[in-house]
Amino acid sequence: MRHTISVLVENKFGVLARVAGLFSGRGFNIETLNVAPTLDPAFSQMTIVTSGDDRILEQITKQLNKLINVIKVTDYAGDITYLNRELVLIKVTAKSEHRAEALRITDIFRAKVVDSGPTHYTIEVTGNPAKISGVIEMLRPLGIKSIVRTGPVAMARER
């Protein structure tokens, strides 16, 4: 099963290597990983998307907690409701008759054109995983030249 995990870490030299090394060394899987400082620059927030059965997920959270530089681990599972957003840049081929279609799709998904040229648009989309894959599927027939994704970031909803 796929899981999204938030990891609050000390913003110190080598911490990313410790976390990445833990996953590779123990054969855990990282699908995406996003990391940036929190409001307090002494800490960083990581969002990791991983997969595995319950036993593996339990090991992943325990092993992360065991790292000295890890402050807090949240596995967004069970009844924790959370926001899950990813930002994606998509460079799509947009020639003559396809230009209008590209713009229409952009509009439908409330995405933005952030760069354009005679034969392409670059579209910025933010959203949850379902929305992101929706946009990609719609644009695919037009010809996607390249795509860059941040990987999701997650935050628990305030109750």
Partner 1 sequence: MGSQDHAEKGNLKTMKLSGAEIFVECLKREKVDTIFGYPGGVLLNIYDVLHQQRDIRHILTKHEQGAVHAADGYARASGKPGVVLVTSGPGATNTVTGIATAFMDSIPLVIFTGQVPMSMIGNDAFQEADIVGITRPCTKHNYLVSHVSKLASTIKEAFHIATHGRPGPVLIDLPKDVTVNQTDFKYPARVELKGFKPNYEGNLQQIKRALQAIKKAERPLLFTGGGVILSNAANELRKLARKTNIPVTSSLMGLGAFPGDHPLFLGMLGMHGTYAANMSIQNTDLIIAVGARFDDRVTGRIESFAPKAGIVHFDIDPTSIKKNIRVDIPVVGDCANVLKQMNRLLAAERGIPWKKKHADWLAQIDAWRKAYPMTYPERKGKIAPQYVVEQIHKLTKGEAIITTEVGQNQMWAAQFFRFKHPRQFLSSGGLGTMGYGFPAAIGAQFACPDKVVFDIAGDGSIQMNIQELATAVQHRLPVNVAILDNRFLGMVRQWQQLFYECRYSSTCLHSGPDFVRLAEAYGAVGLRITEKEDVPDAIREAIATKNTVLLDFIIDREANVMPMVPAGASIDEMMLDDGKGKKSLPKKQADKITG
Interacting residues toward partner 1 by CB under 8 A: 9-10, 13-14, 17-18, 21, 25, 55, 58-59, 62-63, 65-71
Residue type, 88: V
CB of 62 to partner 1, least distance (A): 4
CB neighbourhood size of 142 (10 A): 19
CB of 74 to partner 1, least distance (A): 14
Task: Tell me the pairing of strands 112-117 and 120-127.
Answer: antiparallel
C-beta of 55 vs 157, nearer to partner 1: 55
Q: How far apart are CA 137 and CA 135, in angstroms?
A: 5
* Phi, psi for 124 (deg, rounded to 5): -105, 125
CB of 141 to partner 1, least distance (A): 46
C-beta of 48 vs 70, nearer to partner 1: 70
C-beta of 40 vs 158, nearer to partner 1: 40
Q: How far apart are CA 146 and CA 38, in angstroms?
A: 30
